[in-house]
Structure 1
Amino acid sequence: MRSRTPDRLCAEAVDVARAVTLEAAGPESVGEHLGVAAEGDRVVTHYFACTEPAYRGWRWATTLTRASRAKVVTVDETVLLPGTDAILAPEWVPWSERLRPGDMGPGDLLPTEADDLRLEPGWTGDDEPPAGEPGAEVEDEGADIVVPSVATIGSIAGQLGLGRPRVLSRYGLHAAADRWDEQFGPKTPMAQAAPANCVSCGFLVPIAGSLSQAFGICANEFSPADGRLVSLGYGCGGHSEAAVMPRPPQPAPMVLDELHDTDPMALHTAAAVDGGSAVSDGSARDDGSARGSADPHAGGGEDKGRP
């Protein structure tokens, strides 16, 4: 049983413990004596302060002991131990638990455990019974049944996405859905302030499979979820029907009104009109001159008859 009272001879050997500590750590790293602690019968540990700047709160521990009925103490070990206010590294965690989303880079490999709960065995054709064994062929009287080979089934299965050693399990499917729903789900602040949900948005790209009833892909380049898998209950201000801008009015095209079914009307210019008036006046003067010249002849005839 461990003794609570330190051995007197070992506890009094402070100088011996300091000399051993200075030899192990160096004079620049050993500070004042902090106390003793009983480790067992005639086993005592002396603690000295560590003056290294990088080890604040750490202590040098030198353990002394002595044999039964002996008067000389001997040294067990000298180690550096953390104190109550020491700066310690975090508790060691396996790499599989330390890994976080986004930690992987180009060339990194992330192995999965054989019993990973997120995966379950898929169909590969290895479970098919070999030819010649019971169950490999089905025989029925009066009917010829052609059993396709594993190679034929495998080629078709590859086109359907089968043939993988492991596929996503139900647990993995639900875990992925819960994870995606946290970032782009109906409970996010963006979705709470959205005018409508993604289920009625024209930018939603449907997906196949069982997740199609809950998720889709956003194809709006101005949305924060562009190219991401979003919940149908998610929403943002980029909804296709949130604010539809009316089309601006389009002016009617110009119409050239040309009439080709009317008779052309002759238009006289001002010169033509003036020339016509002059001609008319000249005609009138000519007529008057003719009349005047005729009258004198008539009168002259009368004068010739006068005495």
Structure 2
Amino acid sequence: MSTHRRHTPAPDAPVLGGVVGACHDADVKLALSPATDSVLTGAVEVARAALLEGTPADQVGEHLGIWAEDGLTATHVFACVHPGYVGWHWAVTVSRVEEAELVTVDEVVLLPGDAAIVAPRWVPYKERLQPGDLSPGDLLPVDDDDPRLVPTYLVGADEDVDRGQVKVVAADLGLGRVRTLSVEGRDLAAQRWHDGVGGPEAPIAKQAPHNCWSCGFLVLLAGPMSSTFGVCANGNANDDGRVVTLDHGCGAHSEVKLTRTQQPAPMPDHVFDSFTEDRETF
């Protein structure tokens, strides 16, 4: 199926003609409006002939309407009856020079309507990756201008002085981390952790009797994250080894106690069979 450069009309473009009809579920909706340029409006057959130059006749349906691109340019719409393009329509743009009767065909294109099946928006592979997608041996390089990272020597002032000095020297010597987390990268991570399974809105946290900040199994983080996050060190908890917010929680809190009704029923006393001994005595 041959088409020329893709062309999309402006959403607020005035309409020169009305809808003649609909064909093959094209779902083309053009508002009725009186024609303002009789030369462009009358160029239906010119537009159809240009369309048929590269398209089989059995794929072109009836003329559906015409909308204006500007004062001297308009687009004719034809139904597409190709079974593989349900909901699409042909658009042929024509124009003329001012005070001229000759119409020139600018482009021919196949456009989707509201009911058309189109491919999903392309997403770069880096944006499609989810935690757990990387397999052993896979590499995921970071762009040089990734806003989540900055040169380590630029953030030395954000940490304590001694560590900052070490970072500067290590960077100058080509040792240690060349880049470290930027403020933007830190904020993105903090938001992601807060909204995840280790945050306060997790279902398990909403049912927890206490928060993580008072749990003996919480390992606090150092640096600017320490006031909001920690790491769970309870091997019996779902979040063991994960970053959790201080207002997260679960039923494995170090100070959790069972109520009397939640405690297991006490074992009954042992039963002593004295009947046999009594018979032996007599």
Q: TM-score range by the shorter chain?
A: 0.5 to 0.7
2:27 paired residue number: none
Q: Does 1:47 align with 2:77?
A: yes
TM-score relative to the length of structure 1: 0.52
User: Which of 87, 91, 105 does residue 134 from structure 2 map onto?
Assistant: 105
Match of 2:182 in 1: 169
CA distance in 2, matches of 1:52, 1:176: 49
Percent identical pairs in the alignment equals 45
| One-letter amino acid of the counterpart of residue 143, structure 2 | T
Are residue 179 (structure 1) and residue 166 (structure 2) matched?
no
Task: State the TM-score, normalizing by the size of structure 2.
Answer: 0.56
Larger deviation, residues 208-217 vs 67-76: 67-76
Q: Name the CA distance, whole Å, in 2 between partners of 1:238 and 1:26.
A: 70
1:192 equivalent in alignment to 2:206: yes
Residue 238 of structure 2 is matched in structure 1 by 224
In the alignment, structure 2 segments of 5+ residues that lack a partner are: 1-13, 17-34, 155-165, 268-282
Deviations 1:218-237, CA, capped at 9 Å, x for gaps: 23344331321112332111
Tell me the SS of whatever aligns to 1:33: strand
2-side partners of 1:104 and 1:59: how far apart? 40
The 5 Å alignment of 1:1-307 reads 5=35, 7-39=37-69, 43-65=73-95, 73=103, 75-83=105-113, 86-88=116-118, 98-99=127-128, 101-102=130-131, 105-106=134-135, 107-114=138-145, 116=147, 118-123=148-153, 154=170, 163-183=176-196, 184-202=198-216, 204=217, 206-210=219-223, 211-243=225-257
In 2 relative to 1, CA 201–44 (structure 1 residues): closer, same or farther, beyond 3 Å?
closer
Residues paired across the two proteins, number? 213
Instruction: Kindly report the root-mean-square deviation, in angstroms, between the aligned alpha carbons of the 2 structures.
Output: 4.3
Which ranges of structure 1 fall in alignment gaps of 5 or more residues? 125-149, 250-307
**Aligned match of 1:305:** none
Distance 1:3 1:182 in 2: 48
Bigger relative contact order, structure 1 or 2 (CA pairs below 8 A, ≥6 apart) = 2
1:254-289 CA distance string (max 9 Å, x none): xxxxxxxxxxxxxxxxxxxxxxxxxxxxxxxxxxxx
Post-superposition offset of 1:121: 2.8
CA deviations over 1:136-187 (Å, ceiling 9, x no partner): xxxxxxxxxxxxxx9xx759x99xxx83222223443344333322222334
Shift of 1:14: 3.1
Larger Rg: 1
Distance 1:62 1:93 in 2: 30
Greater fraction of residues in helix: 1
